Amino acid sequence: MYESPKFLPAGDQALVVELGDVISPECNRRVNQLLSAMEAGPIRGVVDIVPTYRSLMIQYDPMLASFGELRSAVSEAMPKLKDGKAGASRIVEIPALYGGEYAPDLDFVAEQAGLSVDEAVRLHSSVDYLVYMMGFTPGFPYLGGLPDRLATPRLTTPRTVIPAGSVGIAESQTGVYPLDSPGGWQLIGRTPLKLFDVDREPPSLISAGDRVRFVPIAGEEEYRRIADAVSRGEYNTAPSERK
């Protein structure tokens, strides 16, 4: 991490605050601490704040605020950030059905890792993943902490359509496609949860800074049962509250 943040202009309506040059839980924690500090004391002219792996982008109305004013506000907030490792964060459990038609690349991932399919599933679901950032479609979580053995290259040719709920691996990350979209990640399963719903508040089920825990689903019957509960708004993703 940098001793002091770097301030970079992004056009004439955004400021990027870069906190480090590596992707790490510690740097990402500082990003989310700064986000909380900026949101706790709303600044005139700020339109949106977008956290990433190691930086914040602050979008602002140049008629109401200037680059210099925002830079000063961030500089004043930095000393207030807490030192030390990240504390407890919200855990979101994602039920996932691994294998079958939902996992066209699971055999390949397991083979690359030198594992059986069952071993690969156990390994993937044994970790609490850090949500480093949200991207490339609404509600898509970039999850860090994938066991090194499961790291797998992206597809040589991306698929034109990946179904919503698909769980994938790309290099050293895993993630879940919230919407039907193109993509090049290796697909190893699918969740019946709706990660993004415009009729829900907030619309995204997961936020940057959360932890995600994948829970294997036993089969199609359980998958359909969970899907029905989701459609009725009766499924809870908090580990301590699930039935």
Q: d(Cα 90, Cα 143) in Å, to the nearest integer? A: 14
pLDDT single digits (tens) 143-166:
999 999 999 999 999 999 999 999
pLDDT of residue 86: 47
pLDDT single digits (tens) 7-52:
999 999 999 999 999 889 999 999 999 998 888 877 889 999 999 9
CB burial of 218-236 (b: ≥16 within 10 Å; e: otherwise) equals: eeeeebeebbeebeeeebe
pLDDT single digits (tens) 51-107:
999 999 999 999 999 999 999 999 988 887 765 444 457 999 999 999 999 999 999
φ, ψ at 153 (rounded to 5°):
-60, 155
Token code pair at residue 188: 């190893």
Query: Is there a contact between 14 and 60 (Cβ–Cβ < 8 Å)?
Result: yes
Where are the domain boundaries for CATH 3.30.1360.40 in the chain? 6-80
pLDDT of residue 88: 56
> The domain 6-80 is classified under which CATH number: 3.30.230.10, 1.10.10.10, 3.30.1360.40, 3.30.360.10?
3.30.1360.40
Indicate if the pLDDT at residue 121 is higher than 50. yes
Where are the domain boundaries for CATH 2.40.100.10 in the chain? 91-241
Could you tell me the fold of the domain covering 91-241? Cyclophilin (2.40.100)
Strands (E), the chain: 6-9, 14-18, 46-51, 55-60, 91-98, 128-135, 140-144, 159-162, 166-170, 173-176, 181-183, 186-190, 211-216
- What does DSSP say about strands 166-170 and 159-162: parallel, antiparallel, or unpaired? unpaired
Token code pair at residue 10: 């992004």
pLDDT of residue 83: 59
pLDDT single digits (tens) 169-187:
999 999 999 999 999 999 9
